A and B are shown apart, each in its own frame.
Chain A
Amino acid sequence: MGLSPLRLNGSDLDSQGNFSIVLKTGEAEIDIEEFKVNLHQIQVVWFRRWSERQPFQGINMLSENSPESHDVSQRAAEHLSSELRRISSFLFSELKHAIWLSHPSTASPDKLRTLKLAASVGLSTPHTLVTTSRKRLLQFAHHHPLITKAIGDVDFFQIGFTAHLMYTQELSADLLDALPEKFFPSLFQEKLEKRYELRIFYLAGNCYTSAIFSQSDPKTSIDFRKYNHKKPNRVVPYKLEADMEDKIRHLMDLLELETGSLDLIKTIDGRLVFLEVNPIGQFGMVSSPCNYHLEHRVAEFLAEKINNARPR
């Protein structure tokens, strides 16, 4: 396609990285190891995720025994994190002229709003409750078995060699019993009996759909991201009905998203239920098992954007 790509990792611009930013009159240049990037030459940005790690636990400014030692080092770590965020936000603002797929500031639709909009375009959605009250929850649980998951983005911590991810969790009777009267605001949804799941990579009006047979494996039946590496879930190409694709296009238009990954569930009783859309979802897990060559589709899309933006 005659384009020259450059990959930037979040970690290239933090304490792990080896970089300098040089401000000249009206221009900024970033040196990363051997690369020199003039930010104004960048025409299009494909944005996936930007790591802002916080590897600063070890900072200790006072003597070990001092009672304030822990607080001080925590505050220092917070400060350093915010310093890093400033570098990132400078980079993003310097790339404002470019075409983004998708820009981090616009590409984070609210989960609850998305559900509401999905229902408005005629997609089936799960019954949902956000509450702090055990009483309300029990009323809700009376009608359906429940799951709980994050209200916002799923976060990820790595401590030592162990990764801690937030998964979707079934709400067992024990768990319900153990809850206090009042708790931190949490999201609950009816648990859907799955036949299989759909993961759709959406790009500019096209739906590239895969079906994931996660239900049959107890390890992945609530959340397929708890991958079974020995025996991976079956992932196969899937054709959505035209009417379903129309609804999805309508929803993505309302959300003003050009791309994203959508999760749906095909229930045992044959309903197709919309769960959520992840604007920066990875597409490798759809592309590779289905042989969709989505890397090619995305590259073409970006190249076309550049061509269209060029003055004629």
Chain B
Amino acid sequence: MQDLDNFLSQLKEDASNWTPVSFRTTSKSELEALPLSRYAESTRYRSAQYRCFNFHKPISRIFKAIPRIKRGSELPETERTRPTINSTAPVTDEQIFLLFACCVPVMGARRSIICDLQRGAFQLIPNGLAEILKQYRGKTLAAIKDAYKHQYDAQIERYFEFLIELELGFWCDDIDAFSEIDFSWDEPERITNALIDVDERSEHDFGVILRDLDDLGCKALQVRFYSGGRILQLRELLTAAKGTCLRSIELVAPFHSEDTDQDYIRMYLDFPRISRLIIHSAPDDRELKTERSHVPLIYRRMIIDSSSCCGEVHPSYFVTQISTFSEAQTFNTCLNHKISIDRCGEIKNCPSLPYSCGNIRDTSLHSALAQSDFKQLWAINKDQIEICKDCEFRYICVDCRAYLSRPEDRFSKPAKCTYDPYSAQWR
């Protein structure tokens, strides 16, 4: 049984244990300053979110807990961040520790995580702790100590103290009333998310496409302009989306010196469906907060000129959310219920995949979707994928089936993932 504090300090000593190279180079001093015991990894990734862009999967913002209006009666900061939940040691050995049902342990080959699906974070833990949490759920502290023949009593107590401190669980008196969450996935939409690629030769009729997407129930859309994408064109697209059931639209477009910050901000205000706007090929890297403060305008120097920009696997793309976690139990976290149109109008599951189910010129999205091979990758979940099935991040990671480590094997690991779950190292 690994000692917890030992585990945490090892993480801290060797950054390759818990963070990919790209992060280490961008903010080394910041990394070193981080306390590891408190959600360090996840907070780190979340604040770094906008260094990279998740091209795989636009996610609609349905239940996201963002206050739309500032409330008049906010408490002062000090009161809000005070440590909560009875963070005391257990009173007796007869007590039962329970994780909150939204905090789910997932075991990997070498270490484990607890996915906090409610607060959108994860915590790295040693496998020994995950074993206790999974195998001895609902058992008293005494029973657990017994099961380990009293060799690790101190470690076990320290484990629970740590989980209480992080508010991942509680000492429970009425264990029968608290069940685990049923992670079945159930969405009414035939398509939940869509990706459309555009360049100067594209002849997409957005009116028709958006009408079809609306009919399929699509909630989230990402449109990537490799060229073009002037503000007028973006506005035309957004206007066509009015009245549809789309909840969020992410736009990726190249920089044009004629289109100013003000133009973009005005567009944000006119179209509340915009969830993110990324301007690539820009002269500098910068972010601009808009009046809708959760929607930043992002400028990046990087050039995005083809669908090969996609397929990255990276902690900043991890989605620690109940809907994704549920979907990952049965389906592919990227391709399930996704439809896309590539720059030439080919209708595919993903623009980077080689096969097409027809061209938008003469095929409707509905008939492409009805073809037998359209959904062939939808049900490949992480438990079936080599290496990924042993990875602790498997239910929060957005998969890729287009760029594979062994292209001839559709069950091989994503080519652009640099994590090795057996050594627990990011390369």
Contacting residues, chain B, for A299 (C-beta < 8 A) = 188
Instruction: State whether A230 touches B102 (Cβ < 8 A).
Output: no
Q: How many residues of B contact A (CB 8 A)?
A: 39
Nearest-CB distance from A216 to chain B (Å)?
4
Instruction: State whether A289 touches B118 (Cβ < 8 A).
Output: yes
Query: A213 CA to B86 CA in the complex, in Å?
Result: 11
B100 within 8 Å of A (CB atoms): yes
The residue on A at minimum CB distance from B73 is A226
The residue on B at minimum CB distance from A162 is B72
Partner of A219, one of B66, B75, B183, B322: B75
Nearest-CB distance from A199 to chain B (Å)?
14
Contacting residues, chain A, for B177 (C-beta < 8 A) = 211, 238-241
Contacting residues, chain A, for B183 (C-beta < 8 A) = 291
Instruction: State whether A231 touches B119 (Cβ < 8 A).
Output: yes
The residue on B at minimum CB distance from A226 is B73
Interface string of A257-270 (1 = CB under 8 A from B): 00000000000001
Partner of A227, one of B67, B70, B82, B322: B67
A36 within 8 Å of B (CB atoms): no
Nearest-CB distance from B287 to chain A (Å)?
21
Instruction: State whether B243 touches A239 (Cβ < 8 A).
Output: no
Instruction: State whether A296 touches B322 (Cβ < 8 A).
Output: no
Q: Which of B163-194 contact A (CB under 8 A)?
A: 167, 170, 173, 176-184, 186, 188
Main secondary structure of the interface of B (DSSP, over half): loop
Instruction: State whether B65 touches A229 (Cβ < 8 A).
Output: yes
Q: Which of B39-77 contact A (CB under 8 A)?
A: 63, 65-67, 69-73, 75
Instruction: State whether A234 touches B72 (Cβ < 8 A).
Output: no
Instruction: State whether A227 touches B72 (Cβ < 8 A).
Output: no
Contacting residues, chain B, for A235 (C-beta < 8 A) = 102, 118
Instruction: State whether A216 touches B181 (Cβ < 8 A).
Output: no
Q: Which 9 interchain pairs have the tightest Cβ spacing?
A: A216-B85, A236-B101, A216-B84, A288-B63, A162-B72, A293-B186, A234-B100, A163-B69, A217-B84
A-B contact pairs, 20 of them (CB 8 A): A161-B69, A161-B70, A162-B69, A162-B71, A162-B72, A164-B72, A213-B85, A216-B85, A218-B79, A227-B65, A229-B66, A230-B81, A231-B119, A234-B100, A234-B118, A284-B63, A289-B322, A291-B183, A291-B326, A299-B188
Give B residues with C-beta under 8 Å from A.
63, 65-67, 69-73, 75, 79-82, 84-86, 100-102, 118-119, 167, 170, 173, 176-184, 186, 188, 243, 322, 326
**Sample of 4 further A-B pairs with CB below 8 A, known A165-B73, A213-B170, A217-B84:** A236-B100, A236-B101, A289-B102, A291-B322
